[in-house]
């Protein structure tokens, strides 16, 4: 059980390794080694909270176990020195909304490489999935690979906040594949939350070697 749970936790975006400590048949501590990207202390705290929420959500969905966030300790992952520099382009959200005319659509606008990319998808009953499809339409235009949705799940965490979890398959341009998870609090409209969670999953996995052509 714990081995499977460990694999689930390590599939969460940003998590490099984890160790689960069990005492008397119960989980007493979970140490999570994570690749933190934030520079400021405020952003760092927010990033750690996001990772903890992702871990809780992933374990709840996959194993039907509700973890106590107080037992999850996040430790910063230290990178080895890499001789070859790598570009890590960041995709940012411009807008995410629904429109009814001239036809019902979900619209997502993204910003990357000093350009804006707009994607659309037919608006159906499942607004979250429609928004993800519109995101993919915009993302595909950037030229950084493609992605496929595994699931979108909304749940309430221990602090009674509504949280949205996205799990996806990311297909790199070099043929490699990653299974990624992203999470965000749903404190605004659903389309915006879907895009934020998807960006939370994808942004840290986008790497480009300088020798390769880019849109910069």
Question: What's the CATH code of the domain at 72?
Answer: 3.30.300.30
C-beta neighbour count of 49 within 10 angstroms: 15
Q: Exposed/middle/buried for 1, CB within 10 Å: 0-12, 13-18, 19+?
A: exposed
Asked if the structure places residue 212 within a domain, the reply is no
pTM here?
0.61
Question: Residues 120, 96: one domain?
Answer: yes
Asked if the structure places residue 141 within a domain, the reply is yes
Q: Are strands 72-76 and 26-34 parallel, antiparallel or unpaired?
A: parallel
113 is in which domain, residue-wise? Answer: 92-205
Q: Which of 49, 76, 103 is the last residue of a domain?
A: 76
- Predicted confidence (pLDDT) per residue in 42-87, tens digit: 888 888 889 999 999 999 999 999 999 888 988 876 554 443 444 4
Question: What's the rounded mean pLDDT across residues 124-138?
Answer: 96
| Res. 19: pLDDT tops 90 | no
Question: Residues 99, 153: one domain?
Answer: yes
Q: Which two tokens stand for residue 94?
A: 């411009």
Nearest 5°: the CA angle 145, 147, 149 is 175
More confident residue, 162 or 213: 162
Asked if the structure places residue 108 within a domain, the reply is yes
Asked if the structure places residue 214 within a domain, the reply is no
Question: Residues 121, 186: one domain?
Answer: yes
Question: Residues 143, 197: one domain?
Answer: yes
Residue 19 CB partners (closer than 8 Å, separation 6+)? 6, 30, 31
The DSSP symbol for 210 reads: T
pLDDT of residue 83: 34
Asked if the structure places residue 210 within a domain, the reply is no
| Res. 147: pLDDT tops 60 | yes
Buried b (16+ CB within 10 A) or exposed e, 4-33: ebeebbebbbbbeebebeeeeeebeebebb
Question: Residues 194, 101: one domain?
Answer: yes
What whole-number distance in Å separates Cα of residue 216 and Cα of residue 89? Answer: 10
Domain count, the chain: 2
Question: Residues 55, 106: one domain?
Answer: no
Secondary structure (DSSP) of 150-166: EEEEEEE-TTS-EEEEE
């Amino acid at each position: 059980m714990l081995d499977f749970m460990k694999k689930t936790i390590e599939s969460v975006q940003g998590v490099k390794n984890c160790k689960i400590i069990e005492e008397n048949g119960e989980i007493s501590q979970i140490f999570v080694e994570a690749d933190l990207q934030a520079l400021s202390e405020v952003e760092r705290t927010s990033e750690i909270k996001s990772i903890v929420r992702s871990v809780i959500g992933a374990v709840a969905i996959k194993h039907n176990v509700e973890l106590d966030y107080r037992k999850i300790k996040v430790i910063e992952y230290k990178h080895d020195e890499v001789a070859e520099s790598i570009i890590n382009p960041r995709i940012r959200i411009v807008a995410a909304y629904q429109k009814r005319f001239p036809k019902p659509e979900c619209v997502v606008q993204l910003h990357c490489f000093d350009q804006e990319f707009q994607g659309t998808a037919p608006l159906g009953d499942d607004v979250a999935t429609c928004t993800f499809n519109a995101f993919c339409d915009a993302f595909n235009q950037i030229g950084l690979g493609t992605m496929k949705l595994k699931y979108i799940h909304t749940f309430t965490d221990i602090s009674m906040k509504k949280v949205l979890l996205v799990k996806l398959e990311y297909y790199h341009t070099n043929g490699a594949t990653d299974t990624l998870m992203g999470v965000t609090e749903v404190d605004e409209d659903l389309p915006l939350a879907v895009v934020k969670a998807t960006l939370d999953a994808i942004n840290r996995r986008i790497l480009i070697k300088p020798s390769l052509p880019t849109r910069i």
